[in-house]
């Protein structure tokens, strides 16, 4: 966790950088969300929509897609893969424009992992998954990942990765895998930029869950963030996302309100 002094210093530098950049940085029109290259060359949108704990997943995902989001993040433990799949079908958005992530959310053997991935494909109504993650550090994580590597090589998974692997867990894990994880999804926000972890993940992209610190620690009343937001005619959420993205970090914010989704989309 960075100190208050480091946090303020970094944000002040960031704010100054905004002034020096193109005046269209926060244009009101909707540009396509930029993509980043994963270590295997697959392009992934740098901003997506998280689906954890939604009351009406299908409607919320449809709203997100209508705003312009193409990266949709779900997981087995969310219990909404079928609803996400239904929203994708109803939206009529071409599959090649979408980037769908799901996560294996319990400890499994190699064979159980293969079966579980097949179940996820059926629930999502997809023939392949863009990104599959192991949701946490499990006792059989390496066997699970071995199954993922196999399906990746067979084209069923376009990218594979992990989630909630701290620095030590990440370093220990990658020693024994054949394919370096493309993604490590971690809690990341302006108060907690995962500096140590990013330093060791040379070939693995960081993806931020809870990019607004879950609203804790005075995130939405922070005077530094508020000052930068007012300076650029934006809100704190937009500034927080821009700070992550400008540091090369993929972010998956969540909201149940279409208007808020639209505002977050306009971090540009």
Paired sense of beta strands 131-134 and 71-73, if any: unpaired
Does 78 participate in catalysis according to the annotation?
A: yes
| Catalytic option among 49, 52, 69, 78 | 78
* 189 annotated binding-site participant: no
Distance CA 74, CA 49 (A): 9
Distance CA 231, CA 234 (A): 8
Distance CA 160, CA 175 (A): 16
C-alpha closest to that of 185 among 173, 197, 171: 197
The CA–CA distances, whole Å, from 111 to 44, 114, 117, 124, 146 equal 28, 5, 10, 20, 10
Distance CA 83, CA 123 (A): 8
**What's CA 5's distance to the chain center, in Å?**
27
Strand partners for 133: 103, 161
In three-state secondary structure terms, 178 is coil
| Residue reference for tokens 């990942």 | 145
Q: Which helix (H) or strand (E) holds 261?
A: helix 258-265
Question: Which residues contribute to the annotated binding site for substrate?
Answer: 135
Catalytic residues: 78
Q: Which residues are annotated as a binding site?
A: 135
């Amino acid at each position: 966790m960075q100190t208050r002094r480091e946090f303020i210093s970094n944000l002040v530098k960031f704010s100054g950088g905004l002034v020096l950049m193109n005046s269209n940085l926060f244009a009101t029109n909707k540009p396509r969300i930029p993509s980043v290259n994963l270590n295997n060359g697959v392009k992934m949108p740098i901003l997506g929509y998280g689906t954890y704990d939604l009351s009406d997943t299908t409607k919320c995902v449809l709203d997100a897609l209508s705003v312009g989001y193409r990266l949709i993040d779900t997981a087995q433990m969310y219990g909404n893969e079928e609803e996400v799949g239904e929203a994708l079908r109803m939206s009529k958005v071409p599959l090649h424009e979408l980037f769908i992530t799901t996560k294996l959310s319990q400890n499994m053997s190699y064979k159980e992992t293969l079966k579980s991935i097949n179940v996820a494909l059926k629930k999502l109504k997809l023939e392949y998954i863009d990104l599959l993650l192991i949701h946490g550090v499990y006792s059989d994580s390496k066997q699970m990942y071995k199954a993922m590597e196999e399906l990746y090589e067979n084209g069923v998974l376009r990218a594979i990765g992990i989630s909630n692997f701290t620095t030590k867990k990440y370093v220990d894990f990658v020693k024994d895998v054949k394919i370096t994880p493309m993604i490590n999804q971690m809690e990341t926000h302006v108060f907690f930029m995962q500096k140590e972890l990013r330093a060791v993940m040379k070939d693995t992209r960081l993806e931020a869950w809870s990019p607004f610190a879950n609203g804790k620690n005075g995130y939405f009343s922070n005077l530094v963030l508020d000052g930068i937001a007012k300076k650029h005619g934006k809100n704190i959420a937009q500034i927080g996302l821009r700070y992550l993205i400008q540091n090369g970090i993929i972010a998956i914010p969540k909201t149940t309100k279409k208007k808020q989704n639209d505002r977050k989309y306009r971090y540009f």
